[in-house]
Amino acid sequence: MTAPATRRVIEFLFDFASPNAYLVWKVLPDLAARHNAEVRLVPCLLGGMFRLTGNQAPMLAFGAIKGKMEYERLEMQRFIDSHGLTAFRMNPHFPVNTLVLMRGLIAARRMGVEPAYVAAGLVAMWEQGLAMDDPAVIAAVLDTAGLDSTAILAATHDAETKAELVAATEAAVARGAFGIPTFFVDGEMYFGKERLAQIAQQLAG
């Protein structure tokens, strides 16, 4: 009897802080399913990646370049329109410090509630426009989603939780990552939501 084929893995370097991470989250699972692949979130702190690599947010890196940010917004809108992501709203509190939220993701993974936590956090951030750097707001969002906000937020203060997020961020940078969303498939790195077609091609090959 032939052994079943091993499912390919799409490693998705992830931080709630990135609007493009939200847009990818809405599209990537279907892409993976079409190619019998698995999406594996890798929590990384975007601000930490910037500090370690010297990278900057696009508004800082390209804000002085005539037409550049206007084109970035056009490309984002094209992606939104192409995939029918009409619930997306730019968060009025952007940029949002997601340190607590990302530590919470580490805790939620240990508690076995990662999918519900990710969904609640991304909807609150990029559909409802909430201030997700406020622990009280985070707690309310988690409680509404049926999650144990007290336990999760308490775990964000654990040294082990903090160290795991730092280590994951440093490991991502050591692999060549400099921003989010970044993906690894078969050891190959892809950066940006515009690379999803290339990832599909890699999986098809």
Given a contact cutoff of 8 angstroms between Cβ atoms, the answer to whether 124 and 85 are in contact is no
Of 45, 55, 53, the C-alpha closest to 18 is 45
- The total number of structural domains in the chain stands at 1
- Is residue 3 one of the residues assigned to a domain? no
Answer yes or no: is 2 within a domain: no
CB-CB contact of 92 with 129 (8 Å): yes
Structure confidence at residue 3 (pLDDT): 44
**C-alpha count within 13 angstroms, C-beta hemisphere, residue 85:** 23
Query: What is the domain range of residue 151?
Result: 9-204
Buried b / exposed e along 84-111 (16+ C-beta atoms within 10 A): ebeebeebeeeebebbbbbbbbbbbbee
pLDDT value for 5: 60
User: Per the domain annotation, does 93 fall within a domain?
Assistant: yes
Residue 102: inside a domain, yes or no? yes
Lookup result for tokens 């990278």: 55
Q: Does residue 23 belong to any structural domain of this protein?
A: yes
pLDDT at 58: 79
* pLDDT tens over the chain, length 205 residues: 444 467 899 999 999 999 999 999 999 999 999 999 999 999 999 999 999 999 888 777 788 889 988 999 999 999 999 999 999 999 999 999 999 999 999 999 999 999 999 999 999 999 999 999 999 999 999 999 999 999 999 999 999 999 999 999 999 999 999 999 999 999 999 999 999 999 999 999 8
pLDDT of res. 55 = 85
> Listing from the earlier edge strand, what are the strands of the sheet with 188-191?
37-43, 8-14, 182-185, 188-191
CATH number for the domain spanning 27: value is 3.40.30.10
DSSP-assigned beta bridge partners for residue 190: 183
Query: Is 42 among the domain residues?
Result: yes
**pLDDT score of 159:** 97
Overall residue count recorded for the chain in this entry:
205
Q: What is the pLDDT of residue 107?
A: 97
Instruction: Decide the pairing of beta strands 8-14 and 37-43.
Output: parallel
pTM of the model: 0.92
**Residue position matching structure tokens 């800082």:** 60
Nearest to 75 by CA among 127, 16, 18, 20: 20
* Contact yes or no for 98/15 (Cβ under 8 A): yes
Query: Does residue 1 sit within a domain?
Result: no
**What Rg do the C-alpha atoms of the chain give, in angstroms?**
17
Residue 4 lies in a domain: no
